[in-house]
Amino acid sequence: MSQRIALFLDANQLTAYGWSSGRLSAEGRFAADGHGLEAFAQYLVRQRHSLFYLLAEVFDEAFRLDDIPCVRGNDRCALLARKLDQIFHDTPLNLALSLGREGTGRRDEKMLFAGLTRPQQFEPWLASLREQEGRLAGIYSIPLLAGALAADLAANSGVGSGPMLLVTLTSGGLRQSFFNDGSLRFSRLTPLPSASMEQSAGACAREAESTYHYLVGQRQISRGTPLTTLVLAHPEEISVFRNHCRDSEDVRFGFIDLLREAEKSGLKSIPGNSQSEALFLHLMVKHRPHVQFAHDKERRFFQLWQIGSALKSGGALILLGCLLFSGMQSLEGYRLDGETRLVRFQSEGNRQRYATIMAAQPPLPASIDRLSTLISRYDDLEKRSASLEPMFRRISHALQGSPGIQINRIEWRIDAGPAVISDVYAQLPSDLGHDKRAHLTAIQAFKADLGKDVATETHILKMPFDTAPEKSLKGSHDIAASDDTTSFSLRLLEKP
Q: What is the pLDDT of residues 376-420, one digit of tens each?
A: 887 777 766 667 788 888 888 888 888 889 999 999 887 766 778
Q: Which residues of the chain have pLDDT under 70?
A: 1, 157-161, 195, 364-366, 383-386, 416-417, 454, 467-484, 496
pLDDT of residue 301: 93
Distance CA 18, CA 25 (A): 5
Distance CA 252, CA 229 (A): 6
Q: What is the pLDDT of residues 161-175, one digit of tens each?
A: 689 999 999 999 999
Q: Which of 405, 63, 38, 365 is nearest to 215 (CA)?
A: 63
Q: Which of 210, 271, 203 is nearest to 231 (CA)?
A: 203
Sign of the alpha-carbon torsion through 476, 478, 484, 490 = negative
- Longest alpha-carbon distance in the chain: 166
Q: How far is CA 350 from CA 293, 338, 343, 344, 353, in A?
A: 82, 18, 10, 10, 5
CA 184 to chain centre: 37
Model-level pTM?
Answer: 0.66
Strand partners, 496: none
Taking the CB of residue 344, how many other CB atoms lie within 10 A of it? 10
pLDDT of residue 477: 44
Q: What are the phi and psi torsion angles at 365 (to 5°)?
A: -65, -20
Distance CA 234, CA 273 (A): 5
Distance CA 188, CA 409 (A): 130
Taking the CB of residue 66, how many other CB atoms lie within 10 A of it? 14
Strand partners, 139: 54
CATH 3.30.70 fits 389-494, yes or no: yes
Q: What are the phi and psi torsion angles at 330 (to 5°)?
A: -65, -45
Q: How far is CA 225 from CA 162, 218, 253, in A?
A: 11, 14, 14
pLDDT of residue 482: 47
Ramachandran area for residue 417 (φ above 0: left; ψ -120 to 50: alpha; else beta): left
pLDDT of residue 480: 43
